[in-house]
Amino acid sequence: MNRRHHVTAVAIVGVVAVLGAAWSVLSRARVPRTFTASDEPVRIRPDYTDVVIPPNIAPLNFVIENRAARYSVRIHGPQGGAMDLGSGNAQIRIPIRPWRRLLQANRGGEVWFDVYAADDSGQWRRHPRITNH
């Protein structure tokens, strides 16, 4: 391998490592510890409110229609399998493996979506829970 190829290979490995580290940090989104409870229902599209979720369905990705600067979503159920997702835009993308674990753990039970939204000043509010079955 000549020097040019070696430098290119090292650069590619470095970029992959940095992207992997960033993904690791971003995928561990946290729901806010401090927030104000809101009475305003969260509006999501498609509207997955009070639906029956089959245990073998693909992740129910959605868009939050309530305006905010940032979003955080905890999807969980009484039997475990919780996942926390964060987004700087209104699109919520659910990773498939944690989604499948969540559905299997809560098969036949409820699955809850807790949606948090931050305004431009960083103040978080929690919308009323979305409950699915």
Q: For the domain made up of 31-132, give the CATH fold.
A: Immunoglobulin-like (2.60.40)
Query: Average pLDDT of 62-91?
Result: 97
Query: Average pLDDT of 97-118?
Result: 97
Query: Average pLDDT of 87-99?
Result: 97
Looking at residue 28, its pLDDT comes to: 52
Q: Is beta strand 91-92 parallel, antiparallel or unpaired with respect to 62-64?
A: antiparallel
CA 42 to chain centre: 15
R_g of the chain, CA atoms, integer Å: 18
Looking at residue 22, its pLDDT comes to: 41
122 burial (CB, 10 Å; 0-12 / 13-18 / 19+) is: exposed
Q: Of 17, 35, 54, 59, give the one whose Cα is nearest residue 114.
A: 35
Q: What is the pTM of this model?
A: 0.77
- In the chain, domain spans: 1-30, 31-132
Looking at residue 102, its pLDDT comes to: 98
Helix/strand/coil for 6: helix
Structure confidence at residue 17 as a pLDDT band (50, 70, 90):
very low
Structure confidence at residue 7 as a pLDDT band (50, 70, 90):
low
Judged against a pLDDT cut of 90, whether residue 16 lies above it is answered with: no
